[in-house]
Amino acid sequence: MNSAQRRDKIITILKDSNQAISASALAEQLLVSRQIIVGDIALLRAKGLDILSTPKGYMFNSMLKSEETIFKIACLHDDDLTQKEIYTIVDNGGKLIDVIVEHPLYGQLIGQLNIYSRYDADDFFYKVEQQQASLLSKLTSGIHLHTISCKDEETSCRIKAALHQLGIMLSNE
């Protein structure tokens, strides 16, 4: 299989999957190194394909169902409330897509999260602890945005109300 065929196969694998796939899993499946896959993904993105890199692997941005309600919220809180924030979103039917901060030097920084359940949230917090990583919101003294997806407007309102009640949402719009 040449490189063009391999990239076509990566596209097919990602389109056929209903979850993110790691570079290592793709490499094993295609009998190449993980680094080759990382390079292939970069080339596919350069061609305009909307491939997301998440903590769990790669996926097409179109994996988000178009009939879902997608909205952004602005929040302000310290690290101590992060777990409560994420649990509140997923417990009320939301899918936490990303976190966005406005960096004074680099502009908008987006971290793909794709947290859909408490299991995903716990896995995220485990990785933060294991890697002794700082949350992006540390860069902006706790101010950040989230993109959230949910099944309908009623669910969206429930999520916003619950976050507002916690006192971490900057706006309830």
The separation between the first and the last C-alpha atoms of the chain, rounded to the nearest angstrom, is: 51
Q: What is the pLDDT of residue 172?
A: 42
Q: How far is CA 122 from the centre of its chain?
A: 14
φ/ψ of 15, rounded to 5, equals: -65, -35
Domains assigned to the chain: 3-62 (1.10.10.10), 69-166 (3.30.1340.20)
Per residue of the chain (173 residues), what is the pLDDT tens digit?
898 999 999 999 998 887 889 999 999 999 999 999 999 998 898 888 888 887 788 888 765 555 688 899 999 998 889 999 999 999 999 999 999 998 888 888 989 899 999 999 999 999 999 999 988 888 888 899 999 999 999 999 999 999 999 999 885 44
Q: How far is CA 60 from the centre of its chain?
A: 12
Query: What is the full DSSP assignment across 22-79?
Result: -HHHHHHHHTS-HHHHHHHHHHHHHTT--EEEETTEEEEGGGS-TTSEEEEEEEE--G
The angle that helices 82-91 and 118-130 make with each other, rounded to 10 degrees, is: 160
Q: Which helix (H) or strand (E) segment is 5 a member of?
A: helix 3-16
